[in-house]
Structures are given as C-alpha cells and as structure tokens.
Amino acid sequence: MSTMRAAVIGLGRMGSTFDDEIKAGGSIMLPYCHAPSFIASPLTTLVAGADPHDGQREDFGKRWGIDDGHLFTDYREMLEKDKPEIVSVCTTAKIRSQIVIDCAEAGVKAIWAEKPISISLAEADSMVDACNRSGTVLAINCARRWNPFFTTARQLIDEGEIGDTLQVTAYAPCGLSHNGSHMIDSVRFLAGGNVNWVFGEMTSDEAAKKEEDLQGNGYLAFDNGVRAFARGTACGCTSWEFEVLGSKGNIRSRNSETLWELRQANESVAMRRPGTAVKPWPLQSRPEGMGLTIIRDIINAYDNGEKPKCSGEDGRAALEIAIALRESHRRGCVKVDLPLEDRELKILSAETLSGDEPALVRRQKREAMSKNS
C-alpha cells in the first residue's frame, strides 16, 4: 500500500485538537481527528499545515513538530511548495468547496474533508466533478462508516443475520446539515441503498423558510424497498441511537452508540409462540483508532481506483436529503423526489453561523472565562 505526504488545511479543532476533548471511553477510538491520525499512521508523514490564524499555526507547529517553513497562511502556497499527496480540509464549510477543487486541480491524490460536504448542492456537484476529473479520491468525514460498531452492524446485515432489511430508525437531535450529516449518512449506510423520495417536517414553518441549519424529522424511501425514520428533533434520553428492523431480527444501538444488540427470531418451545433471542455482539478485541482506519481506506481506494467508504457522492447525498426534507416542509409537507432539480438550494451549516472566529478559539475563550469567573 502507498505511503503519502500529508497536510492539513484548517488547523483548529478537527484539524488538530479534537482528541483532547475525549475524556472517557465511548464509541470514538483515538486517534480520531486529522493531524494525530496522520502522525500515528504508518501510511502517512505529516509535512505541512495551512491556516490564516497565527495562533492556530503556532500551536499546530509546536504540537506536531512542523517548523515554520512548512506552515502557511495561504493553502495554495502550501500546495505549490510542499506538494502533499493527501490533504485534510478541516475549514468551515463556507470555504470548503473551493479548497477541495483547488487541491484536486493541484494534483493532490486524496482528500479527507470534514462534513458537511458543502453549503449548497451546486458546490457539492463542483467538488465531486473536480475530483472525478483529476482522479482524486474524495472522502467526507461522516465517520460512522468507519466505526467498528457500525461496520460490524453492516456486516451482520450483509450476512443475513436479521433477514431482509425492512426499516432503519435514527434518533439524533441535531441540525440536519451539521451533525445531521452523520445521522443521515448512517441511515443510508445501514439501509444499504439510495433515497428515492422523502417527507419532511421541520420544527416550525418559520425555521423552514430560512437557509440556516435547522432540526427536523423525516421519512425516507429507499430504492431497495427499505424505509427509514430519522428524528432530528428532541429525543429525550434516547439520543444518538439507531435501529435496523429485519424480517428475522433486528440490530439496535443504545447509550449513545456504545451498547449494541443483535436480536433474532426464536420460537419459544415453552410458550409455543414466536419470540426473540439476544445474541452476543461480536466485538473486536483491539479496535484501531478510527482516523487510522479512515486513512487506510482512503489510500486503499486510491491504490485500487475505488471509492472510499464515505465518498464525495455519499457526502453530497447526505446534504441533498437534508435539503429535501426541508423542501418537503416548505412545500406543505409533501413528497419530494430526489435528485433535486434546483442545485442552488443550500443549508448554512450550524458551524458557519458563529462568525469567522474558529471554533477552537471560541472554545478557548469560554474556558478562560470559566476559570476566571
């Protein structure tokens, strides 16, 4: 398998420091975010970074051993001088599309971009087209496709352990574009098909009129006959849980995706009626950090001319479904067919609504205020 020179554009939270926030066990295996994953992977060497914010460049360089000569204010200069082969794009979605296009046109072999893929469908189309023209692998960080719990669930489904998939249900209170990209992509992954049409209900008519990220619920009809319910509004204590209903059993995650159950049909001899039996969930003894899994998948995709587990097309599909759900409400909660004809439709992802100050800087200011109060 190839080894690649790696670089990061956007040196803040997801580009560099997110793993610091993981204080206890859960469904995320470290290293997870981009820079520490490139450092830990035997398949990559982290060589450069780019960010317009002085403080983030300085912290990135000290943390990961990158000298000033390979830290850039302008990512285009970095692409020209250091010629990285795999690039992470961890900026706000407001500028992500042009950066991805520039990377592809500069000859970058593979791109690992944060979610959501973009603001508008037109931007997403341009990103996918540019990467396809240049032969650049584009992966979108809807990371549950690489999570060992979700990949095990997908394997059990493919092996027929729950029979034919009938329905997928998701509970995840979130903005439909920002963290909703995780929810929607996970539903697509578990359903194993593409969405033909949707019904959507947003939190209010007023919210649906705007382009800002918003919460909502949806009914999704897949081309393989699977149906799905996605609840992106308040879920009480049932938050970030998924269920796959099959003709012979079901799979369910609980406790924010940390507990998984496989139930299968089992006729009760004593009661002489159908029942279910809970089977042990197959666990990996030493699951690797998800960032390492992602890098290996991306490089494997490049080497073999394949798509990564969450491709640019998958990222675009998640955004299109989110927009279609909102459009359904806008049009009177009617059925909306995909693909959407109007490619200028957009959702301003939640992380784009807090101004131009990076999320890491905002977090550091909050922590400082908390210590001083």
Which band of pLDDT confidence, cut at 50, 70 and 90, is reported for residue 364?
confident
Q: What is the pLDDT of residue 116?
A: 98
Clarify whether residues 200 and 256 are in a common domain.
yes
Q: How far is CA 181 from CA 144, 322, 339, in A?
A: 11, 8, 17
Domain count, the chain: 2
Clarify whether residues 102 and 189 are in a common domain.
no
Residue 41 lies in a domain: yes
Which band of pLDDT confidence, cut at 50, 70 and 90, is reported for residue 2?
confident
Residue 28 lies in a domain: yes
Residue 362 lies in a domain: no
Residue 154 lies in a domain: yes
Residue 359 lies in a domain: no
Residue 209 lies in a domain: yes
Q: How do residues 247-257 score in pLDDT, each as one tens digit?
A: 999 999 999 89
Clarify whether residues 135 and 171 are in a common domain.
no
d(CA 235, CA 63): 38
Helices (H), ranges, 10-120: 34-40, 54-64, 75-82, 93-105
Clarify whether residues 139 and 154 are in a common domain.
no
Instruction: Compute CA 83 distance to the chain's CA centroid, rounded to the nearest angstrom.
Output: 26
- CATH number of the CATH domain containing 133: 3.40.50.720
For every residue of 204-228, DSSP letters joined together read: -HHHHHSSB---EEEEEEETTS-EE
Residue 270 has pLDDT above 60, yes or no: no
- For the segment 285-294, the average pLDDT, to the nearest whole number, is 91
Name the more confident of 269 and 148. Answer: 148
Residue 42 has pLDDT above 90, yes or no: yes
What is the residue-averaged pLDDT of the chain? Answer: 94
Residue 100 has pLDDT above 80, yes or no: yes
Clarify whether residues 202 and 73 are in a common domain.
no
Clarify whether residues 51 and 188 are in a common domain.
no
Clarify whether residues 135 and 204 are in a common domain.
no
Clarify whether residues 26 and 158 are in a common domain.
no
Residue 359 has pLDDT above 80, yes or no: no
Clarify whether residues 102 and 215 are in a common domain.
no
Q: How do residues 68-90 score in pLDDT, each as one tens digit?
A: 999 999 999 999 999 999 999 99
Q: What is the pLDDT of residue 325?
A: 98
- For the segment 288-295, the average pLDDT, to the nearest whole number, is 96
Q: How far is CA 157 from CA 151, 154, 251, in A?
A: 10, 5, 9
Residue 267 has pLDDT above 70, yes or no: no
Q: Would you say the C-alpha torsion 249, 231, 352, 340 has a positive or negative sign?
A: positive
- For the segment 271-299, the average pLDDT, to the nearest whole number, is 85
Residue 344 lies in a domain: no
Which band of pLDDT confidence, cut at 50, 70 and 90, is reported for residue 274?
low
Residue 323 has pLDDT above 80, yes or no: yes
Q: What is the pLDDT of residue 272?
A: 55
- CATH number of the CATH domain containing 194: 3.30.360.10
Q: What is the pLDDT of residue 347?
A: 98
Clarify whether residues 134 and 47 are in a common domain.
yes
Q: What is the pTM of this model?
A: 0.94
Residue 265 has pLDDT above 80, yes or no: yes
Residue 372 lies in a domain: no
d(CA 15, CA 8): 7
- For the segment 84-97, the average pLDDT, to the nearest whole number, is 98
Clarify whether residues 328 and 189 are in a common domain.
yes
Q: How do residues 154-203 score in pLDDT, each as one tens digit?
A: 999 999 999 999 999 999 999 999 999 999 999 999 999 999 999 999 99
Domain that holds residue 122: 4-144+289-315
CA contacts within 13 A on the Cβ side of 338: 22
Clarify whether residues 10 and 137 are in a common domain.
yes
